[in-house]
Structure 1
């Protein structure tokens, strides 16, 4: 079992993005497209874990009082046979850092949408390069567990951590 913290995009965004990706799928018939119910923006990756309660307690303290970021997906990129959409927000880096991101390598906020066995075809990233989602407010972080199955990994929510939604222009106090 692997543990990681993440933000899950809202259903209306997933529906809109799914329509956009549908037009790209014929260009990469061998790609493994991530289903919308598995889409997430990883904040902190914690690796193998036997006991989750320690991580739950740690995250509860680390995320207490963290503001709910306004996010948007914009543009596309590739790395290690992964096609992803960029994630932009003024406060996402601070939230991810609080959740443990950046300790091992620089944090790259992204939403992975497909994996390939070889290089990601350039036309896929080009096909998403002008994509811009509607902004949304992430009202919670989830601690996820990832378990191997014969057909891939299965994700499940271990715990939810609400974020502080503040009126526009209000700073933390």
Structure 2
């Protein structure tokens, strides 16, 4: 059975076509995914999701060229989405940690009892000082004065996108300066 017949069988809901699709393409797709994500378990999971999605959307899926190329492209996109979500999760976790540490330091809820905490507080202060003045001002207004991006933009006479830019730059610097104190997941 060639890929056109296989696709026709899948559209008709024939389970033997689905099984053949799995047997014919699963290994190659896992190799593609493994090259992107570097984790065989996650690669298999992403490939499984792509194949199941093809099955559940079989009536609506438009495959103009080869089934294999469609599957490879779908796996590639799934891998890129996964990588992007992992990056955002790590970025969010690091930002949360930095914000929590900064908030405790500047609001005074932290009572440093150990040498490590004191060292971290000093490092955070140094990291904040490493932020360029305008970005630091925006960062402090956001993180320590609980002002929204819109409020900051209005007070400083800049756009909300400029505020976002300054916050992002500040977090990049904070992350870089505090990298020895953060834990990668």
TM tier, shorter chain?
under 0.3
Higher strand share: 1
TM-score, normalised by the number of residues in structure 1: 0.23
Larger RCO of the pair (alpha carbons < 8 Å, separation 6+): 1
Higher helix share: 2
